[in-house]
């Protein structure tokens, strides 16, 4: 297998020092420690992991805060399936976080497949299972891989008393979570969105057997039992603070973060990320005198069993400070998977960070890379605040190798479906060379944000990506709706931002002034690109498209007449809001280029 190479001449002297000083000593020790800990949130092993991180930060002289928030967590314990009219001995059966904890019995109806909300490229504008009839009193059997959260809701609405999902894994189904509530804890008036049916996952061979029986003339009846603990639990959040000493008056910071809870020992999801965070904190602390901005390094609980509860708590608790001073959030999840040699189909970033990330990957690794739209997952709990994000997942095993090995699509572990959310995510799934390379990518990319004279984010490109998305919606809408007011303003805004950025890079605008404008543009354009709800709220953990405020336009593909008028009404109101936001972005640029005149 060919090895990516480093373009050392493209690295600054400071970046070369970071690159050279990165080591696997501290990271690999963490992996070995975490390989003994099943770090489910709310457990003693999770606390032990937090203790270890704090001990190592103490040993390396890194200042940190340890918080003990109560998070709304759902711990799955057990699930069983007992067939009532067939002889059957099942393999592993798993329930999912925020399933109902109960026992039900009844006939089974096979309902087919539905795409996964977060990972599937599903462009069907219809509701999941729109063609499935009444399921009252029945258990729905779905061949859906990572079952769509919306699909569970729709099956329940049709009367299903339970849901069994057939996973693609031959040995054991993947662990997962069913709630659409980002952060686990719903608003008081949205508690009914938590699933009210038991959910179980089975492996592929067992699922095929159940499906065959369910579709037979005799049919299938079974009893489904699930056992979970869902309640408020105290979970440690650890946040290290590296203060940049090169400019003591600069309060801006980047947030480098990842989750330390796991399914089982979770080596590549996400012990490798935790190891990388620890090494980044150590290396940057040694060079804090060279940093222009501050760096926070955070370890989150509640990722797997609380739908990103730890990072959501932090986003809520420090919302004003994040909105005012955070210049970028960088997620470190699943780096260092063995045989992961490219950054093509699992890495993602906001449009304005494209040049930064691409150049770093080129300079540090020489590996192939590709831009992916940030799906609604991966502790991106800072989208609604409008903070530029880059990375979510890290490097990946090339697609052709994954295909040769028979891997199916998963959302982490470098694409290794024999590791992601299963018991075999063990030490052998991590690669030393791969982990060190990925840590260096993070070090250099974060350093380029921390020490940039002018923040390296291209919001003209952001405006262009927004325009591309609107034009796709415009094509779909046809004569039903006119998006030209949005397109025209984005055309103008892109040109104005481009002129501003050129002036800033040429030194014609004071860096402090330019950087405030760049942050402010993120608060507008990044939010338009990624979110629907308010700045201090959280969108649901369901699928999204670029410019989600306008995604309802895709309903024109399936509605007409009076139904289409409802879509038109919604889009009219959304466009009024969007135009107001785009005018605010233009004001930001005008103020900085004219000196407020």
Residue 112 has pLDDT above 80, yes or no: yes
* Structure-token match 């940049």, residue found: 244
**Residue 154: predicted pLDDT:** 87
Comparing 164-173, 499-508, 566-575, the range with the smallest average pLDDT is 164-173
Average pLDDT over residues 419-443: 98
- Residue 75: pLDDT band (50, 70, 90) is very high
| 3-class secondary-structure state, position 518 | helix
Q: What is the pLDDT of residue 125?
A: 77
In this predicted structure, what is the pLDDT of residue 148?
60
The pLDDT of residue 131 is: 85
Whether pLDDT at 484 is above 50: yes
Mean pLDDT, residues 202-215: 95
CA-CA distances (angstroms) from residue 323 to 318, 340, 464? 9, 34, 24
**pLDDT of residue 450 exceeding 50:** yes
Q: Is pLDDT above 70 for 492?
A: yes
The confidence score (pLDDT) of residue 332 equals 98
Q: What is the mean pLDDT of residues 444-471?
A: 98
pLDDT at 1: 43
Task: Look at residues 192, 39, 177 and name the one whose alpha carbon lies nearest to residue 97.
Answer: 177
Return the pLDDT at 127.
77
pLDDT level of residue 113 (50, 70, 90 thresholds): confident
User: Which contacts of 548-551 are long-range, i.e. CB under 8 A and separated by 24 or more positions?
Assistant: 549/574, 549/577, 549/578, 550/469, 550/470, 550/473, 550/483, 550/486, 550/574, 550/575, 550/578, 551/473
Check whether 146 has a pLDDT greater than 80. no
Q: What is the mean pLDDT of the chain?
A: 94
| pLDDT (0 to 100) of residue 118 | 43
Distance between CA atoms of residues 132 and 110, nearest Å: 10
pLDDT of 119 reads 44
- Please check whether residue 469 is in contact with residue 546, taking contact to mean a CB–CB distance below 8 angstroms: yes
- Residue 197 in contact with residue 175, Cβ under 8 Å? no
How far is Cα 280 from Cα 435, in angstroms, rounded to an integer? 12
Question: How far, rounded to the nearest angstrom, does the alpha carbon of residue 423 sit from its chain's CA centroid?
Answer: 22
123 band by pLDDT with thresholds 50, 70 and 90: low
pLDDT for 117:
43
The mean pLDDT value for 152-173 works out to 92
454: Cβ–Cβ under 8 A, 6 or more apart, which residues?
A: 504, 505, 511, 514, 515, 518
0.75 exceeded by the pTM?
Answer: yes
Q: Is the pLDDT of residue 539 over 80?
A: yes
What is the arithmetic mean of pLDDT over 364-369?
A: 96
The share of the chain scoring above pLDDT 70, in percent, equals 96
Structure tokens at 389: 């994000």
Structure tokens at 495: 């040109």
Provide the pLDDT confidence category of residue 129 given band limits of 50, 70 and 90. Answer: confident
pLDDT for residue 152: 84
For residue range 216-258, list pLDDT tens digits in order: 999 999 999 999 999 999 999 999 999 999 888 899 999 999 9
Taking residues 194-205, report their average pLDDT: 94
Q: What phi, psi does 151 have (nearest 5°)?
A: -65, -40
Q: How confident is the model at residue 122 (pLDDT cuts 50, 70, 90)?
A: low
Continuous H helices in 179-246: 204-214
Element (H, E) at 309: helix 309-317
Q: What is the pLDDT of residues 342-352, one digit of tens each?
A: 999 888 999 99
- Rounded average pLDDT over 190-219: 94
Per-residue pLDDT reduced to its tens digit, 314-354 = 999 999 999 999 999 999 999 999 999 999 988 899 999 99
Percentage of residues in the chain with pLDDT exceeding 90? 89
Q: How many CB atoms lie within 10 A of CB 178?
A: 23
Closest CA to 534 of 403, 409, 385: 385
Number of Cβ within 10 Å of residue 378's Cβ equals 24
* Residue ranges in 41-110 assigned as alpha helix (H): 44-59
> Cα dist. 589→258, 482, 522 in Å?
33, 26, 12
SS3 of 424-485: CCCHHHECHHHHHHHHHHHHHHHHHHHCCCCCCCCHHHHHHHHHHHHHHHHHHHHHHCCCHH
């Amino acid at each position: 297998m060919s090895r990516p190479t480093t373009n050392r001449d493209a690295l600054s002297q400071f970046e070369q020092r970071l690159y050279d000083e990165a080591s696997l000593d501290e990271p690999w020790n963490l992996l070995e420690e975490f390989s003994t800990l099943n770090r489910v949130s709310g457990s003693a092993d999770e606390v032990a992991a937090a203790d270890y991180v704090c001990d190592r930060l103490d040993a390396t002289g890194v200042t940190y805060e340890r918080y003990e928030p109560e998070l709304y967590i759902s711990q799955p314990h057990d699930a069983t399936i007992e067939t009532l009219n067939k002889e059957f001995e099942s393999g592993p059966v798993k329930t999912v976080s925020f399933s109902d904890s109960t026992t039900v019995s009844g006939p089974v109806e096979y309902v087919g497949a539905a795409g996964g909300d977060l990972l599937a490229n599903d462009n069907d504008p219809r509701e999941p299972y729109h063609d499935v009839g009444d399921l009252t009193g029945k258990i729905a059997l779905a061949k859906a891989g990572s079952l769509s959260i919306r699909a569970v809701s729709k099956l329940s609405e049709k009367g299903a008393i339970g849901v069994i999902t057939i996973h693609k894994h031959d040995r054991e189904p993947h662990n997962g979570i069913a709630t659409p509530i980002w952060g686990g804890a719903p608003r008081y008036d949205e508690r009914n969105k938590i699933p009210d049916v038991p959910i179980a996952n089975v492996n592929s061979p067992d699922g095929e057997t159940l499906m065959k029986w369910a579709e037979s003339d005799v049919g299938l009846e079974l009893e489904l039992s699930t056992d979970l603990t869902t309640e408020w639990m105290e979970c440690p959040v650890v946040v290290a603070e590296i203060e940049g000493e090169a400019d003591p008056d600069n309060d801006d910071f980047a947030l480098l973060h990842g989750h330390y809870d796991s399914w089982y020992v979770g080596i590549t999801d996400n012990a490798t990320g935790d190891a990388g965070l620890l090494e980044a904190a150590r290396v940057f602390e040694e060079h804090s005198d060279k940093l222009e901005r501050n760096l926070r390094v955070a370890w989150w609980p509640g990722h797997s069993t609380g739908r990103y509860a730890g990072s959501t708590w932090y986003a809520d608790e420090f919302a004003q400070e994040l909105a005012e001073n955070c210049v970028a959030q960088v997620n470190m999840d699943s780096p260092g998977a063995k045989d992961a040699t490219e950054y093509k189909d699992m890495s993602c970033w906001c449009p304005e960070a494209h040049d930064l990330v691409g150049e770093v990957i080129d300079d540090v690794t020489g590996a192939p890379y590709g831009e992916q739209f940030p799906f609604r997952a991966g502790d991106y709990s800072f989208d609604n605040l409008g903070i530029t994000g880059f990375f979510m997942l890290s490097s990946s095993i090339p697609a052709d190798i994954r295909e040769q090995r028979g891997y199916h699509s998963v959302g982490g572990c470098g694409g290794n479906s024999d590791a992601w959310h299963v018991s075999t995510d063990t030490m052998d799934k991590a690669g030393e060379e791969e982990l060190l390379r990925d840590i260096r990518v993070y070090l250099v990319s974060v350093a380029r944000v921390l020490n940039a004279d002018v923040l390296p984010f291209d919001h003209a490109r952001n405006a262009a990506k927004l325009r591309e998305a609107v034009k796709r919606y415009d094509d779909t809408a046809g004569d039903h709706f006119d998006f030209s007011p949005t397109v025209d303003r984005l055309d103008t805004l892109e040109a104005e931002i481009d002129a501003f950025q050129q002036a800033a890079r040429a030194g014609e605008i004071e860096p402090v002034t330019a950087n405030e404008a760049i942050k402010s543009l993120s608060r507008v354009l990044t939010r338009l690109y990624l979110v629907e709800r308010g700045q201090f709220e959280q969108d649901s953990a369901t699928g999204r498209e670029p410019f989600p405020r306008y995604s309802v336009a895709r309903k024109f593909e399936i509605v007409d007449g009076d139904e289409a008028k409802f879509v038109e009404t919604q889009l009219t109101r959304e466009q009024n809001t969007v135009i107001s936001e785009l005018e605010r972005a233009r004001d930001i640029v005008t103020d900085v280029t004219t000196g407020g005149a």
